[in-house]
Amino acid sequence: MGRKRKKNIILKNIELNDAGSLGKALSKVEDQKIIFTKYGVPGDIVDIQVRKKRKSYIEGDIVKFHNYSKKRTEPKCKHFELCGGCSWQNMKYEDQLYYKSKEVANNLERIAKISPEKTLPIIKSDKKYYYRNKMEFSFSNSRWITANEIESDRIIKDKNALGFHKSGMWSKVIDIEKCFLQANISNKIRNYIKNRAIELGLDFFDLKIQKGDIRTLTIRNTTLNEIMVLVQFFKDSKKAQKLLADLKDKFPEISSIMYVINNKKNDTFYDLNVICYSGKDYINEKIGDLNFKISAKSFFQTNSYQTTKLYNIVKKFANLKGDELIYDLYSGTGTISLFLSKYAKKVIGIETVNDAVISAKENAEFNKITNATFIQGDVKKILTEGVKDYINPEIIILDPPRNGLDRSVIDSVVSIKPNKIIYVSCNSSTQARDIEIFKEFYDLKISQSIDMFPQTYHVENVVLLEKKCNE
């Protein structure tokens, strides 16, 4: 017998009433199962074709709209629903803020099983578009072919793309004509590089067989109007050098042109030599009254315009008097540490990545800051062994990766017994999971969200934890 074919199930007249995990719209059907669907907006009334059915939930695709939500707006980007990077671009901005705040509150109540004593209103972004300071694009000789192109009779010859990977299809890249996330100069540079690379006969990368001349493009820009362009080539060649020379001539406003020769099986270049073709090997950014050097390998907050607001939240929660010792865990390039240093006695930044620590030390020297020290190593190990000459911090700042804290790190922080813990997170679910452990020893005083990523479901959240009186 052949395999049993799945039934083509259509759920009719479903009203979407919430926005859930990963930005999907959701509702409940008659048997109380939750149904998730992409690109819907709460308030839409739709027909949904079931794609996946499980015990507690259903996933499906919208096949018909009966009524459109009042929360809807027209997406700006022609690549919307293909790219997937701005999955809330079809939702009005004020409603985006509402659902981001709701998600944070729900995670604290459901996962941490606690509500903060005070929840402050989410801080919105002044810039709804063109706010990112870093974008990464992939070259591919096998671009995503749209349904309209497939249905047409014309022969498709141009299969080169420079853009973003299609969600769930690592080998396919969507050719991006205009992206609304970074300043428009980024679009001009990207489109020029793509067209010039084709003219020069550079082979776009084949992701399946791992061959080609040119692999990736990274563009950074700052609020000081400095621009860094980094191109990854599979191999060096006269064509590659000509592309860089032409780019320099075409865009004299580019502050730094860098390139990497990468013939590995992945695009990561942090273990490779970055070559400065022209200009400086860094660009400058300003946060508050501090200046930062950003190199090709530097991590930096993606939205510079909101970063000062974010760090001011941290400073407000810390309520510094000038005599405090602060530990900044997962300190990265030291931006939070340096921002707080002028208000504290001493700040110790602890970071795993050596390149980040080097950048942090350089930025401290660049800003003539002497009361900030940066240590490279495993956070748990350093906390357990103690920081030489500096013990018993009054405040610990936590800004971990999206997956949150290891239990061993939480235990180490608790054992140190700081008066305050300020936890900065870009993933409120893992933040809530960690708070559920902290709450035995610390009270959750304040929660404050800030929108760092408009048009997406991502949200940054900062909480203040204070040591319980009996501790």
Spatial distance between the Cα atoms of 379 and 405, rounded to a whole number of angstroms:
10
Three-state secondary-structure class, residue 191: helix
Residue showing tokens 């009042």: 70
Of 450, 432, 448, 459, residue with least CA distance to 120: 448
Cβ contacts of residue 416 below 8 Å, gap of 6+? 327, 383, 392, 393, 396
Buried b / exposed e over 426-454, threshold 16 CB at 10 Å, is: bbbbbbbbbbebbeebbbbebbbbbbbbb
Spatial distance between the Cα atoms of 39 and 232, rounded to a whole number of angstroms:
33
Spatial distance between the Cα atoms of 124 and 94, rounded to a whole number of angstroms:
9
CB atoms under 10 Å from CB of 418, counted, come to 22
Alpha carbon separation from 394 to 369, 385, 434 (Å, rounded): 20, 18, 20
Kindly report the backbone phi and psi dihedral angles of residue 40, in degrees, each rounded to the nearest multiple of 5, phi listed first.
Answer: -90, 160
Measured distance between the N- and C-terminal CA atoms of the chain, rounded to whole angstroms? 68
Sheet holding 395-398, edge to edge: 118-123, 442-450, 460-467, 420-425, 395-398, 325-329, 346-351, 372-376
Cβ contacts of residue 468 below 8 Å, gap of 6+? 441, 442, 443
Catalytic residue positions, numbered: 426
Alpha carbon separation from 204 to 212, 233, 244 (Å, rounded): 5, 10, 16
- At 463, list the tokens: 């909480």
Residue 271: burial class (beta carbons within 10 Å; 0-12, 13-18, 19+)? exposed
